[in-house]
Amino acid sequence: MTMFETAKNRAKLKSSGVIDSRTLENSHKRLREIIRPGMTILDVGCGTGAITSGIAKVVGVEGKVVGMDNNPELIAKAREKYKDTPGLTFLEGDIYNLPFYNEFDVVTSARVLQWLAQPQEALKNMVKATKLGGKVIVLDYNHVKIKWEPEVPKSMKYFYDAFLRWRSESGMDNTIADKLSGMFKAVGLEEVKITAQHEESMRQDKDFQTHIAIWAGVASVKGAQMVSEGFIEEKQREVAECDYKKWIEEEAKRQFMYLLAAEGVKV
């Protein structure tokens, strides 16, 4: 299997509480500031369409929104859930092969480039789909800069480090958020701007459980993949998941995920 195919397998996502609970307002704030009624928007790697449906509400009936994802199950869910939203279409398709040329006012991709072995190629495709004078906006993490308070149990720290190695071994960049500015300039985008969009969640917040549980989900789903690929022992995975869930119940106070939005204009 090539590195490209390995990354594709490892990126495969099931619908999850976390992605389904995201909204444009709470999970793609910089995009919300940029878009206006009547605009045409492409959201690549839209998952089950939670953020995309919010985009459609803002651009309204005069606008047009396309959500695209390479996972047919997620696209089927998005179509079913948002079938009554006007101006919104969901398409199955790959970010490396977008069938659009100079077509959208804004092309966005949130939390997707982090899962790719060739993010620069993906970005070139996004630029191609954007109108002259339009904007590309990417939202992504630097997973090395995550912070938990207090520290997670040792078993989970071991799992997380293995998870980052498992990702980088297939060509994914764990620090991609901090590379976006250079990547944008390299594809000729101008007026490049970076905005901090960090996700900070405290125990007293009402959605704390949803945010903090993301890593229990990763230990379960991605962990199973890591075990089947011989990357970590099942026992280590199981202990990490179990210790982490106990830590959530008894100790967890704060989680900080480092997230940046990069935007640039196509000239």
Ligand X SMILES: C[S@@+](CC[C@H](N)C(=O)[O-])C[C@H]1O[C@@H](n2cnc3c(N)ncnc32)[C@H](O)[C@@H]1O
Alpha helices (runs of H) in 12-97, residue ranges in sequence order: 17-21, 24-27, 29-34, 50-59, 72-81
- Whole-angstrom CA distances from 56 to 3, 101, 117, 146 are 35, 21, 30, 31
**Residues between 114 and 153 that touch ligand X (CB under 6 A):** 115
Q: What is the C-alpha R_g of the chain?
A: 18
Q: Report, in Å, the least distance between residue 65 CB and ligand X.
A: 13
d(CA 246, CA 153) in angstroms, rounded, equals: 9
Q: Is 261 in the site for ligand X (CB under 6 A)?
A: no
Which residue is closest to ligand X by CB? 45
Using rule CB under 6 A, residue 170 touches ligand X: no
Q: State which of positions 59-118 bind ligand X (CB under 6 A).
A: 69-71, 74, 94-96, 110-112, 115
> Angle of helix 3-11 relative to helix 214-228, nearest 10 degrees?
140
Distance in Å, CB of 26 to ligand X, minimum: 11
Cβ closer to ligand X: 95 or 176? 95
The mark string for 7-26 relative to ligand X (x by CB under 6 A, - otherwise) is ----x-x-----x--x----
Interacting residues with ligand X between 35 and 54 (CB under 6 A): 44-47, 51
Bridge partners of residue 107, in order along the sequence:
42, 136
Q: Does 264 bind ligand X (CB under 6 A)?
A: no
Residue 54's CB is within 10 A of a number of other CB atoms, namely 22
**Residues near ligand X, by CB under 6 A:** 11, 13, 19, 22, 44-47, 51, 69-71, 74, 94-96, 110-112, 115
